[in-house]
Amino acid sequence: MKKIISFWLPPVLWMSLIFFLSSFHKLQASPVGWQDFVIRKLAHFCEYAILCFLCYRGLKNTTKVSLAKGLLLAFFMAVLYALSDEYHQTFINGRTGRSFDIWVDSFGAIGGLLFVLKLVKLLPEKVRKIIAV
């Protein structure tokens, strides 16, 4: 049980943070329109790259799924959460759910998968043990 909590609490907390941030009327990153757009979309990308990574980490350490199945499940978990988050935003005054954001979130999830597949190998063994991948 301790193992399940330690590997699934981080993605649940991360989803809670995404939900909390989505509850604000308008988050503005810059007074310049195009900069605000780019920063917010980069934030979407990074949020879901991290979420996908955390979901994969939870699956890898608490189930016996193969690498391919774990990556696929983590991707679908992140995309499903992106769908639910955009739906949630339709209930927030001044916010809308946008399909474009779901695409950005999905590409972010792919970024998380690429991190697992390509970049984790380049990290020192000590760091890999700490992040448990």
Give the CA distances from residue 101 to residues 24, 48, 53, 129, in Å, rounded to whole numbers and listed in that order: 16, 11, 19, 33
pTM: 0.90
For the chain, the domain total comes to 1
For residue 57, name the pLDDT band (cuts at 50, 70, 90): very high
- Model confidence at 116: pLDDT above 90: no
Rounded to whole angstroms, the Cα distance separating 66 from 51 reads 19
- Model confidence at 129: pLDDT above 80: no
Residues in the chain: 133
For residue 118, name the pLDDT band (cuts at 50, 70, 90): confident
Residue type, 6: S
Span 1-7, average pLDDT: 91
Query: Domain containing 79: what range?
Result: 2-131
pLDDT in tens, 85-111: 999 999 998 888 899 999 999 999 999
Q: What is the pLDDT of residue 9?
A: 97
Q: What is the pLDDT of residue 29?
A: 77
pLDDT in tens, 12-56: 999 999 999 999 877 777 788 899 899 989 999 999 999 999 999
